[in-house]
Structure 1
Amino acid sequence: MNDERQAFSRRLAEAMEKAGYKPRPGELHKAFNSHYEGASVSEMTASRWLNGKAIPAQDKLQVLAGLFSVEPHFLRFGGRKPRVGEGRPAWEAMTAPDRAMMDAFLALPPAQRKLVRELVAALGEGKGK
């Protein structure tokens, strides 16, 4: 088992427990798919994440981090600080109200999240007018 993948699976299991979930593939599978807008993942994929056999892609990692209220950077890399030039992870740069807003956003059903994204995009287009 790859040490990096094993370390990720430990952090994922710990984050799940702290968020009130049991670190089991079935529970992870259900929770993840209820928050992810893309194609659902199988219980086998969730098992691979929890058993140190795979690390999810960045889009899935972002959903996992939001679901379990941890920073995506921490979930992926642990306590390692960013190297010079990597910049500060966006999650760290957010204020507490912004993080709460993101948690609320991630709890919305996919159709409502799409509407919120469209609203934010429309508001962004009007910037500077």
Structure 2
Amino acid sequence: MKIPSEKEKFSERLKIAISVKYPNLLKNSEIAIKFNLLHPNEPITQQAVYKWLNGLAIPAPDKIQTLSKWLNVKPEWLRYGIREGDKVDIFDETLISLISTLSENQKRAILQLILSFRD
């Protein structure tokens, strides 16, 4: 069993955050355009997005800040995920375990449902 690299783990979190905000998947070019409209520094290319989404690169901290604001997630989660020292209670562990067995479409539906409670 292959252990995912930090870049691959980042990629998965980024894909999740994008799919929650945009259930109808975006093309790399669309992601780059939307990102560049919000990012105050140098723009990114479609190739950079490709690298992020395919576990080949992790963006610089300023880009993670922009991604987190755009996708409405914490920058720490986007970059590092749940770390070993983070507090996760038994209820959270149970939810994570149950959700991890669902299909991608079912996970998206659950995420949309949870997000509807935030409004």
Output one character per residue of 1:39-68: Cα deviation in whole Å (capped at 9) or x when no partner: 111110111111100000000000000000
Q: For structure 1, which runs of at least 5 residues remain unmatched after alignment? A: 84-129
> Counterpart in 2 of 1:7?
9
> Counterpart in 2 of 1:62?
65
Distance in 1 between residues matched to 2:8 and 2:26, nearest whole Å: 14
Match for 1:34: what amino acid?
Answer: L
Q: For structure 2, which runs of at least 5 residues remain unmatched after alignment? A: 87-119
- Aligned residue pairs, count: 83
Instruction: Tell me the SS of whatever aligns to 2:22.
Output: coil
Alignment pair present for 1:35 and 2:38: yes
User: Rg bigger for which structure?
Assistant: 1
Match for 2:74: what amino acid?
Answer: E
TM normalised by structure 1 equals 0.59
Output one character per residue of 1:53-101: Cα deviation in whole Å (capped at 9) or x when no partner: 0000000000000000000000000011668xxxxxxxxxxxxxxxxxx
- Flag the 1:65–1:29 CA change in 2: closer, same or farther, 3 A: same
Which 4+ runs in 1 deviate beyond 3 A? none
- Flag the 1:82–1:59 CA change in 2: closer, same or farther, 3 A: farther
More contact order relative to length (CA 8 Å, sep ≥ 6): 2
Match for 1:53: what amino acid?
Answer: L
**Identity of paired residues, percent?**
33
Alignment pair present for 1:48 and 2:51: yes
